[in-house]
A = this chain, B = another copy of it.
Amino acid sequence: VIVTIVGAGMMGSAMAMPLADRGHVVRLVGTHLDSEPVDAVRAGRPHPGLGVVLPEGVRASPHETLQAALHDADAVLVGVSSAGIGWASRALCGALPRALPIAMITKGLDVRGDDIAILPDVLRDALPAAVRTEPVTVGGPCIAGELARRAPTAVVFAGRDASAVRRFAEELVTPYYRPFPSDDVVGVSVSAALKNAYASAVGIASGLYERGGGTPGSVAMHNLEAAVFARAAQEMEGLVRTLGGRAETVRGLAGTGDLFVTTQGGRSTRLGRQLGLGKTLAEAREALGNPTLEGVEIAQAVRRADLPLLSRLRAILFDGLPADRIFETP
């Protein structure tokens, strides 16, 4: 099977591992921002973001090659970040030779006022009818650096086309990468998008603790982190239900699982720590080296009165609410 991965960032590239280990032909096509990883992979050097050398069979190439990389492909894996989904949609519109099974690891939401659309639907609707398919979206705990090192995990593959879901799951399963099929594309997509924002909320406690003079250890405001974590899971579940997804999805790998792994490290949690230390969003961004902060975009875009924890995070990020107010008062 020939699989073309669109996007050579950390997550897209890490997906080459289970694909190559299953013997598939893997073509890794970078975006216009991916020349560094593409050059590294072509030269047999470690992927600069992942720090590992990809398997020998993986062929990397620049974005100009997308059409050629798709002409005889059996499946597409969209591996761009949420910022790249517009580009990827347009590129696929022009380059897809026919209707191909599409899986996507891109996490995000398209929010316009009260209208919230999930990215698999945005991508599907952007494709010309002749090449349109129902994308399969990937959720669950999956830090790219761990996948690239074949550290074990379990994930969720969700989509409205059950046979496409099953096919991707069967072609990617390895002892370390275990996809569980689901039809709840809304639940998986919303969970994947929200978890970055909520991980920032959880991370605030560690910053508050350090600011108060505490040092890491068994006493470190883990109680408060845990209280925020529990509320976050409840709120994610509420929004998923409202948008037509299933609460059980949030309670599983795609919701609780992904939120947990995100709180164990990652940019979103480090942003929370900076806020807890008393920094403004601008100062926190700078302290982190100005990375893309998908959770901040979500907190800004999703404005609903029935998400009080997210609303408090937004007030801390944008309106000067003190970070120690992240948890509700009874």
Chain A interface (Cβ within 8 Å of chain B)?
140-143, 145-147, 149, 151-154, 169, 173, 178-180, 209, 218-227, 229-231, 233-234, 237, 251-253, 255-258, 260-261, 264-266, 324, 327-330
Complex CA–CA separation, A253 to B143 (angstroms): 26
For A231, the chain B residues whose CB sits under 8 A away are 252-253
Q: Is the CB of A264 within 8 A of B152?
A: no
CA distance A257 to B179 in the complex (A): 26
Complexed CA–CA distance, A146 and B218 (Å): 8
Task: Chain B residues near A225: list those with CB within 8 A.
Answer: 260-261, 264
- Complex interface: chain B residues within 8 A of A261 (CB): 222-223, 225-226
| Cα(A179)–Cα(B329), bound, Å | 10
A227 B264 Cβ-Cβ under 8 A: no
- The residue on B at minimum CB distance from A156 is B230
- When the two chains form their complex, are residues B265 and A179 in contact, meaning their CB atoms are under 8 A apart? no
Give the number of times this chain occurs in the complex, counting copies. 2
Residues of B within 8 A of A222 (CB): 141, 143, 146, 261, 264-265
> Whole-angstrom distance from the CB of A236 to the nearest CB of chain B?
10
Contact assessment for A226 and B260 in the assembled complex, using a CB-CB cutoff below 8 Å: yes
- Of chain B, the residue at the smallest CB distance from A263 is B260
- Pull 10 A–B residue pairs with CB atoms less than 8 Å apart, ordered by A: A141-B230, A146-B222, A151-B223, A151-B224, A154-B224, A154-B227, A180-B330, A218-B266, A225-B264, A226-B261
In the bound assembly, the distance between CA atoms of A173 and B330 in angstroms comes to: 9
A83 to B199, CA, bound (A): 36
Cross-chain contact B327 with A226 (CB below 8 angstroms): no
> How distant is the Cα of A224 from the Cα of B150 in the complex, in angstroms?
11
- Whether A154 lies near B218 (C-beta < 8 A) is no
Extra pairs beyond A141-B224, A146-B222 (6, CB < 8 Å): A145-B218, A153-B227, A178-B329, A225-B260, A226-B261, A227-B257
Please give, as numbers and ranges, the residues of chain B lying within 8 Å of A141 by CB-CB distance: 222-224, 226-227, 230
Q: Is the CB of B218 within 8 A of A230?
A: no
Inter-chain contacts of A252 with B (CB < 8 A): 230-231, 234
Report the nearest B residue to A248, measured CB to CB.
Answer: B234
Q: Which residue of B lies closest to A260 (CB)?
A: B226
Given contacts A223-B143, A223-B147, A260-B225, contact A152 B230 (CB under 8 A): no
Given A219-B145, A223-B146: A260 in contact with B153 (beta carbons within 8 A): no
A143 to B224, CA, bound (A): 10
Determine if A142 and B179 form an interchain contact, defined as CB atoms under 8 angstroms apart: no
> Across the interface, do A154 and B265 meet the contact criterion of CB distance under 8 Å?
no
**Contact (Cβ within 8 A) B153 A224:** yes
Contacts of A257 in B (CB 8 A): 226-227, 229-230
Contacts of A229 in B (CB 8 A): 256-257, 260
In the complex, what's the smallest C-beta–C-beta distance from A273 to chain B, in angstroms? 14
Determine the distance from Cα of A237 to Cα of B151 in the docked complex, in whole angstroms.
28
How far in angstroms is the closest Cβ of chain B from A234?
6
Q: How far is the CB of A330 from chain B (nearest CB, A)?
A: 5
Assembled-state Cα–Cα distance A266/B222 (Å): 11
CA distance A141 to B256 in the complex (A): 16
